[in-house]
A and B are shown apart, each in its own frame.
Chain A
């Protein structure tokens, strides 16, 4: 099946057709996450079509593409959130450090701890204090040592560059701080459980430019210790924060390259037309 956009055709949603993937050499080295021949469906709707790509350890990879291209679904497959949607289906493999996270012996809770997620809208637990938001995962796991929990909260809030702003109001509600602070609180919550990979799905779309800049600085800093995969429809944001950028269209990976090369000289005409705003 082909879909036409202003004279350009891409093979879409075909199980048999190989994806038009170009794997940048540098992203192939030291991958932490590898997606192999991934296909995903919502009911009969085929939303990810034979995607294969590697995500380099301790680097930032941005996934861009028009609405409905499958970029959010792709990251939701990477930490097994996709399967929570009724009627969803998935084939292919997602490897974390060489182990298939969809394997039979795999503990899903552990997968989601190792691969954290930050969503589009800040979603702190409104009935919990700032401190308790950060340590919620640990409390759920049965840790009760107050001193240790305080240390975890402080460390995670420091990593999220939020500690100085909230250190005097830790007992206040997580919903009492600004939107940008709430998003950093959610990042702190993800960091508190010591993940290896952080998935971010449009983390700045509900934030003002100042809060966005803070999150972008944070992403850059986090990549020293974590692997960050960020979905964004803001191409300038991708070009600012990402080491690698992947362009998806109609469920397929169209192009994947080092960010400067992608934005200066994309190989695929479809990428060129999308990033220059000639369709989308």
Chain B
């Protein structure tokens, strides 16, 4: 017989899957806007929607804690839901930040975008993996995320070093690339945190803090 709490847990799962899809779309739209030079106007709406969904997840999680006083795997799931929801919300927010860079810097068609786009592909793969790991509670995929995060981190740092040492060149291209890489690096961090939350749901093991 299903428990009263199960209905709420299913609802949370469904909300998070909606957030997963929407956040993936938001990041893809912002990367497309950068690489193809489009406006990415829909990203703001998606980011706002993700914020509203995040609040809904938090409210429902708190309500369930208050009503059912969950323990063990139920409690861990609720705690992780709030963390994962925040991660998806942040994906959307960084996607919006990327489009804000494009608005601020205007036409970037003359810039060499290959390095940023390559890093974006890795970050998008991390987003895809984080979503899949959550949907399938796939621990192996979740555990691979921190390794990929290291790769994205290194890309960001390498670009920063190159930019600092670079003499001359187009400042607009360099600055926009640095900012976008910074947002991608933060997205990768959140993908990694989502992976840790999935591990926490399954095993109860909290991630070690650096």
Interface centre among B71, B75, B76, B204 (most CB of A within 10 A): B71
Residue interface mask B1-35, A partner, CB < 8 A = 1: 00101000000000000000000000000000000
B70 at the interface (CB under 8 A from A): yes
A264 touches B72 (CB 8 A): yes
CA distance A102 to B76 in the complex (A): 43
Return chain B residues, CB-CB under 8 Å to A86.
none
With both beta carbons as reference points, the residue of chain B lying nearest to A261 in the complex is identified as B204
Q: How many interface residues does chain B have, given as a range?
A: 10 to 19
CA distance A276 to B74 in the complex (A): 7
Return chain A residues, CB-CB under 8 Å to B72.
263-266, 271-272, 275-276
The residue from A235, A236, A239, A272 contacting B73, defined by CB atoms under 8 A apart: A272
CA distance A271 to B76 in the complex (A): 15
* Contacts between chains A and B (CB distance < 8 A), count: 30
A278 at the interface (CB under 8 A from B): yes
Known: A236-B69, A264-B204, A265-B204. A278 touches B3 (CB 8 A): yes
> Which positions 209-255 of chain A face chain B at CB distance < 8 Å?
235-236, 239
CA distance A264 to B3 in the complex (A): 19
CA distance A235 to B74 in the complex (A): 14
With both beta carbons as reference points, the residue of chain A lying nearest to B69 in the complex is identified as A236
CA distance A144 to B1 in the complex (A): 61
Return chain B residues, CB-CB under 8 Å to A272.
72-73
B3 touches A263 (CB 8 A): no
Q: Give the Cβ gap from B204 to chain A, nearest Cβ, in Å.
A: 3
CA distance A271 to B73 in the complex (A): 11
> Which positions 66-92 of chain B face chain A at CB distance < 8 Å?
69-76
Return chain A residues, CB-CB under 8 Å to B73.
272, 276
Interface of A is mostly: helix
A275 touches B3 (CB 8 A): no
> Which positions 255-278 of chain A face chain B at CB distance < 8 Å?
263-266, 271-272, 275-278
Q: Give the Cβ gap from B76 to chain A, nearest Cβ, in Å.
A: 7
Return chain A residues, CB-CB under 8 Å to B204.
264-265
With both beta carbons as reference points, the residue of chain B lying nearest to A239 in the complex is identified as B71
CA distance A278 to B9 in the complex (A): 14
Q: How many interface residues does chain A have, given as a range?
A: 10 to 19
B3 touches A277 (CB 8 A): yes
With both beta carbons as reference points, the residue of chain A lying nearest to B75 in the complex is identified as A264
Q: Give the Cβ gap from B75 to chain A, nearest Cβ, in Å.
A: 6
With both beta carbons as reference points, the residue of chain B lying nearest to A240 in the complex is identified as B69
Return chain B residues, CB-CB under 8 Å to A263.
71-72, 75
Q: Give the Cβ gap from A204 to chain B, nearest Cβ, in Å.
A: 16
CA distance A278 to B74 in the complex (A): 11
Interface centre among A271, A272, A277, A278 (most CB of B within 10 A): A277
Return chain B residues, CB-CB under 8 Å to A265.
72, 76, 204
CA distance A236 to B69 in the complex (A): 7
Known: A263-B75, A264-B75. A276 touches B70 (CB 8 A): yes
Return chain B residues, CB-CB under 8 Å to A264.
71-72, 75-76, 204
- Ordered by A's residue number, 19 sampled pairs between the chains whose C-beta atoms are within 8 Å are A235-B71, A236-B69, A239-B69, A263-B72, A263-B75, A264-B71, A264-B72, A264-B75, A264-B204, A265-B72, A265-B76, A265-B204, A271-B72, A272-B72, A275-B72, A276-B70, A276-B72, A276-B74, A277-B5
Chain B residues in the interface with A (C-beta under 8 A): 3, 5, 69-76, 204
Given A239-B69, A266-B72, 16 new contacts (CB under 8 A): A239-B71, A263-B71, A264-B71, A264-B72, A264-B76, A264-B204, A265-B204, A271-B72, A272-B73, A276-B3, A276-B70, A276-B71, A276-B72, A276-B73, A276-B74, A278-B3
